Amino acid sequence: MACLLSGAGSTATREGQYRKLTGVPFTEVRIEDDFWAPRLRTTREKTLPHNLMWCEKTGRIGNFAKAGGSMQGKFEGIYFNDSDVYKVLEGAAYVLATHPDRKLEKQVDEIIEKIASAQQDDGYLNTYYTLVEPENRRTNLRDKHELYCAGHLFEAAVAHYRATGKRMLLSVACKFADHIDSIFGPDKRSGVPGHEEIELALVKLYGVTGEERYLKLAQFFLDERGRGRSRELYGDYCQDHKPIREQSEICGHAVRAMYLYSGVAGIAGITGDRGYVEAMERIWDDVVHRKMYITGGIGPSASNEGFTVAYDLPNESAYAETCASIGMVLWNHRLNLLHADARFADIVERALHNGLLSGISLDGERFFYVNPLASRDKHHRKPWYACACCPTNMVRFLPTVGGYVYAHSADEVYVNLYVASTAEVPLQDTLVRMTQDTRYPWDGDVKITIEPASEATFDMCLRIPGWCKDARLRVNGRPLSDFEIEKGYARIRREWHPGDVIELELAMPIERMKAHPNVTANTGRVAIQRGPIVYCNEAVDNGGTVFQLSLSRETELVAEHRPQLLGGVTVIRGTAVVSCAGSWNNMLYRPIAEPKTVKCVAVPYYSWDNRERGEMIVWLPETPDLAEISGADTGTPQSKEE
């Protein structure tokens, strides 16, 4: 077993050789705001125990005990259920990294012992195949998710080792990785997973162990995709229709694509592979400019849980899986570190505050699998799913939010997200402690206090969000009128002293957003956005219905913060027009009824379906002609059967 470690924080020497930035780990960022801090607390106190309970209740954890021989019984659930346990363990490890808890640590250790007991002598580990069809291991890489489950094991193992220094789960992961490496490779068996995940996970395993074979195995799986050296290709559903370096358009299953391209971006950050870098640029352009919802969600189609054609972005039938939004953050974060370009951080912010955060309720115990942009009271959060990828993905993602706030190079500090927080950033010549004070995302004023360990010259690079048209900067109270903006960052280079203060003002007006003309679902419609937050109208705030509302261009919209509503949100107030049908009274024709004006309230999209059940809509028509008619009495005769 190749699992050579130099310490809990060890990383491979080649890591970051071509990548321009290094992310500041979430363990070095303390979030202290009113927006994210309550969610992180809820994740620790509610979401994690909730997920652990359901993994126990549904037999997911018991499957490992059965496979290890300490419990009798048959396999329970879906063949990829091992992955849910691994994801919850990863989330638990992240919680332990910042909030040590002996009870939780003991619970995690007990689950890890069950996992270790289920591992076969040759390193293989998959409870479905061990209990159901052991003779068919690796006979269906396309559909049965063996390598996908292995990838989530590797991620959990890395997280647990970094958090606790304990090696049991990491040893299990390395033994399994060695087993896989003994089978697949250039001079061994050809093959790729139908559901990507192992590629990015092997990069993480390489990062903590320094074992080059894991990096080479990740590269092998990536380079085999679309080649079919001695196998049948899986097609575009699995992004296996052509080699990655030749791909230009996003296609197939959205989550699989995001995991794949996160792995590609991770490898490119280490090797500098130009073919990968250029392919990522082409695919990113296709996703962001032709196939992404305004919420940062992706994948409009339920039939393939993924992509169709350019500009196909329906609202009511939008799939926009929560896991896909998480994948958008993972992918764009890696691209931001690779290029030091704020456009990728812009997408991280959009997906994070909208399409991703909508996937979990404010109480942390109910979830969306899909995230439509309109609902007729038929779509609601659930406490669990038979396919529980989204609840378990949320519990492993949310504790790491602090890791997306800051990044650095040898002599540059990058601020990617605006979150009230403290952080320590290691530069080449000094350690910089920073305190960020802001009410973002409700307010665009940001104050950053710089505390270098010693006076030092370095660049502070502050992201100017793509949505912001007017940004102002001050240093120690003095306005900066000629600051340089490079790749979306305001760059301030100077000698910094302890106590220096940067003040950034980001104008945050209410914006009416239009979709590209080719997005026919939104022809004649507008969405409301303020800062990074996309808004929606819910029936509970708007007289019980929203599909009859229209929002004219002349309507004045006002932002109002309501600290007691939905955990504290800024709402958008205004007036809307409702088209009234009146009564037909058995008439065939009659004059058009005068529309009436009503008050309307929009709330952040992420917060919908946390109160009374009801309708929801993001894109409102600009004219009553495109709205549905309120109180319509069509006079349609009923059949005798009715």
Under 8 Å between Cβ of 210 and 226: no
What is the edge-to-edge ordering of all strands in the sheet holding 484-486? 22-23, 406-408, 412-415, 456-463, 489-496, 484-486
Under 8 Å between Cβ of 172 and 201: no
Given the residues 55, 174, 238, 389, the one annotated as active site: 389
Reduced to 3 states, what is the DSSP secondary structure of residue 105? Answer: helix
Distance (Å, rounded) from C-alpha 88 to C-alpha 108?
10
- Among 9, 399, 397, CA closest to 165: 9
> Is 389 assigned a catalytic role?
yes
> Is 580 assigned a catalytic role?
no
DSSP assignment string, 470-501: -EEEEETTEEESS-EEETTEEEEEEEE-TTEE
The three state secondary structure string of 403-439 is HHCEEECCCEEEECCCCCEEEEEECCCCEEEEEEEEC
Q: How crowded is residue 610: how many other Cβ atoms within 10 Å of its Cβ?
A: 17
Q: Is the pLDDT of residue 10 over 50?
A: no
Distance (Å, rounded) from C-alpha 367 to C-alpha 50?
11
Q: For position 6, what pLDDT does the model report?
A: 34
Tokens of 191: 């093959």
Q: For position 631, what pLDDT does the model report?
A: 54
> Which neighbouring-strand residues pair with 451?
433
- Among 247, 162, 244, 241, CA closest to 205: 162
Secondary structure element (H or E) that encloses residue 448, with its range? strand 445-452
Under 8 Å between Cβ of 104 and 163: no
Q: For position 454, what pLDDT does the model report?
A: 93
Query: pLDDT-based confidence at 1, cuts 50/70/90?
Result: very low
Q: For position 625, what pLDDT does the model report?
A: 84
Q: For position 639, what pLDDT does the model report?
A: 30
Tokens of 494: 């100077």
Query: pLDDT-based confidence at 589, cuts 50/70/90?
Result: confident
Under 8 Å between Cβ of 82 and 63: yes
DSSP assignment string, 545-610: --TTEE--TT---EEEEETTSTTSEEEEEEEEEE-B----TT-S--PPPPPEEEEEEEEEGGGTTS
pLDDT in tens, 98-109: 999 999 999 999
pLDDT in tens, 13-26: 344 468 899 999 99
Distance (Å, rounded) from C-alpha 67 to C-alpha 71?
8
How far lies 85's CA from each of 150, 326, 389, 601, in Å?
Answer: 12, 18, 10, 41
Reduced to 3 states, what is the DSSP secondary structure of residue 271? Answer: helix
DSSP assignment string, 7-51: -TT---TTTTSS-S-EEPPGGGEEE-SSSHHHHHHHIIIIIHHHH
The mean-pLDDT minimum among 3-12, 180-189, 508-517 falls in 3-12
Reduced to 3 states, what is the DSSP secondary structure of residue 263? Answer: helix
First to last CA, the chain: 71
- Among 348, 444, 447, 360, CA closest to 403: 348
Given the residues 197, 224, 305, 349, the one annotated as active site: 305
Distance (Å, rounded) from C-alpha 476 to C-alpha 57?
56
Residue 626 is given by DSSP the state: G
Under 8 Å between Cβ of 463 and 445: no
Q: For position 17, what pLDDT does the model report?
A: 64
Under 8 Å between Cβ of 161 and 170: yes
* Mean of the per-residue pLDDT values of the chain: 94
The residue-averaged pLDDT of 413-435 equals 97
Reduced to 3 states, what is the DSSP secondary structure of residue 522? Answer: helix
Percentage of the chain with pLDDT > 90? 90
pLDDT in tens, 193-239: 999 999 999 999 999 999 999 999 999 999 999 997 789 999 999 99
Beta strands at 620-621 and 22-23: parallel, antiparallel or unpaired:
unpaired
Q: Which domains does the chain have, with CATH numbers?
A: 408-506 (2.60.40.1180), 513-626 (no CATH)
Q: For position 630, what pLDDT does the model report?
A: 62
Q: Is the pLDDT of residue 421 over 60?
A: yes
Q: For position 582, what pLDDT does the model report?
A: 60
Q: Is the pLDDT of residue 583 over 70?
A: no
Distance (Å, rounded) from C-alpha 514 to C-alpha 182?
53
The mean-pLDDT minimum among 287-296, 587-596, 625-634 falls in 625-634
Query: pLDDT-based confidence at 61, cuts 50/70/90?
Result: very high
Tokens of 131: 């209990």
The mean-pLDDT minimum among 341-355, 404-418, 571-585 falls in 571-585
Residue 279 is given by DSSP the state: H
Q: In residues, how long is the chain? A: 642
Measured in whole angstroms, the distance separating CA 577 from the mean position of its chain's CA atoms is 36
Q: Is the pLDDT of residue 456 over 90?
A: yes
The residue-averaged pLDDT of 394-403 equals 98
Distance (Å, rounded) from C-alpha 430 to C-alpha 610?
46
Residue 627 is given by DSSP the state: S
pLDDT in tens, 273-284: 999 999 999 999
What is the edge-to-edge ordering of all strands in the sheet holding 421-426? 29-31, 421-426, 431-438, 445-452, 500-506, 471-475, 478-480
Distance (Å, rounded) from C-alpha 461 to C-alpha 493?
9
The residue-averaged pLDDT of 114-131 equals 98
Burial class from Cβ neighbours inside 10 Å (0-12, 13-18, 19+) for residue 407 reads: buried
Tokens of 485: 């903006």
Distance (Å, rounded) from C-alpha 463 to C-alpha 467?
11
Burial class from Cβ neighbours inside 10 Å (0-12, 13-18, 19+) for residue 588 reads: exposed
DSSP assignment string, 348-402: HHHIIIIIIGGGB-TTSS-B-SS--SEEES----BS--SS-HHHHHHHHHGGGGG
pLDDT in tens, 467-483: 999 999 999 999 998 88
Tokens of 639: 């059949």
- Among 386, 323, 449, 372, CA closest to 608: 372
Query: pLDDT-based confidence at 588, cuts 50/70/90?
Result: confident
DSSP assignment string, 150-211: HHHHHHHHHHHHHHH---HHHHHHHHHHHHHHHHBSTTSB----SS--HHHHHHHHHHHH--
